[in-house]
Amino acid sequence: MATACELASQVEERLLERNPLFERFFSREAPRLAEACRDMSERFLSGGRLLAFGRGPYATDAQHVSVEFVHPVIVGKRALPALDLSILFRPWLEAILQPTDIVMGFGPPEGDPEVWAALREAHGQGAMTFALPGAEASYGVDAATPDPFMHQEMVEILYHVLWETVHVFFEHRELGHDVGEAGFLYPFLGTEKQSTPGLVAEVAASILIKVHEDAELRRQVAREEAEQIGNATLGIYDRLRAGGKLIVFGNGGSATDANDFAIDCVLPPSGFRPVPAVSLALEPANITAVANDIGTEAIFLRQLIAQARPEDVAVGISTSGGSRNIIMALEEARKRKLLTVALVGYDGGEIKRRGLADFPIVVRSDYIPRIQEAQASIYHVIRESLEVLGHGQA
């Protein structure tokens, strides 16, 4: 089995190898993405909705893009209509699709024929379609890598960029020379209204800036957190060998990351061994029951009390490091002698300051989309490393 030092080196290498791949992809796609965002903004302003879906781990991308548009991370931004239809996407599309809608299908690097078929039908009814990946769509891309984890991370950057950029076109169209709260996202817009072609070109350039920021943050994580990620992986592996499981939880976009991490454990890429895991964020009946009867602060605590065993691992995902329901669950996990791991942003927040995680892994940024993109790389690398450790022990 790999030593802690060897594992940390492998973690750093795996994190860094993502950057050139992502930067090459977006260098090619930025102009098309900017144009797609312009078209999306026009459809939203005409009453269209974003309808997203995928299967298996790619259903969590549909969850994530839906919450990004409905509940924007920037205060004051409009809530845009978006739905995750993954649970039954073909019948749902047949029942509710309108020609003004935007339909987004997610799949593995090799694509998903069922997703493609649904996208073709939606396109035939006038909808704007995104095939991620795929060729037959208003906007489609070939997978830039056969690696399912890196493919999914790249797609997450893509839909974060879509969300950010759609709001810029809203501001430009409705406020003229005043770009309002989008100013800090795209400071190049300045105070003079630009022509639409000029704006598309400037937005494309800004997309590349965001991808470079993402790459720099991942380099920072590789430099500062590789050892901690490696040690956390070794701790998780020891608990799994003792019969434990992962219990993962988070809010909003972090809930979809918790779901993705758990699904990657139980339905891993071909050749990987399943790892026992559950996501407390995948339980809408439990979440709404506890929120209604006790309060939102207990939505994970109550479930953890029911599910946890001393040999388990509690994994809290929080961009702020201060979400009260994450803190309460980690407090309870420590009382019950679980191993605790936290993926947090900013400076680690209260979770880091109070030592609520045996292994706090901090992404030092204050911008939520970039934090989430780095966190996706982190838990995917942990999953890969668990597989390496398992084969080394066999």
| pTM of the full structure | 0.93
For 18-77, write each residue's pLDDT tens digit: 999 999 999 999 999 999 999 999 999 999 999 999 999 999 999 999 999 999 866 567
Reading the block at residue 195, the tokens are 């022509």
For 186-230, write each residue's pLDDT tens digit: 444 444 444 566 788 999 999 999 999 999 999 999 999 999 999
**Consecutive sets of 10 residues in the chain, 394 residues long: mean pLDDT of each?**
87 97 97 95 96 98 97 77 98 98 98 98 98 96 96 97 88 54 46 63 93 97 98 98 98 97 97 97 98 98 98 97 97 98 97 98 96 98 95 56
> Which pLDDT score, from 0 to 100, does residue 176 have?
46
The one-letter amino acid code at 123 reads H
The one-letter amino acid code at 6 reads E
> Which pLDDT score, from 0 to 100, does residue 191 have?
43
Reading the block at residue 44, the tokens are 């939203």
Quickly tell me which residue has 């920021």 as its tokens.
213
> Which pLDDT score, from 0 to 100, does residue 178 have?
43
CATH number of 16-213: 3.40.50.10490
> Which pLDDT score, from 0 to 100, does residue 393 have?
55
Q: How far apart are the first and last CA of the chain?
A: 9
User: CATH fold of 217-393, please?
Assistant: Rossmann fold (3.40.50)
Degrees, nearest 5: CA angle 57-102-253: 40
Query: What is the location of CATH 3.40.50.10490 in the chain?
Result: 16-213, 217-393
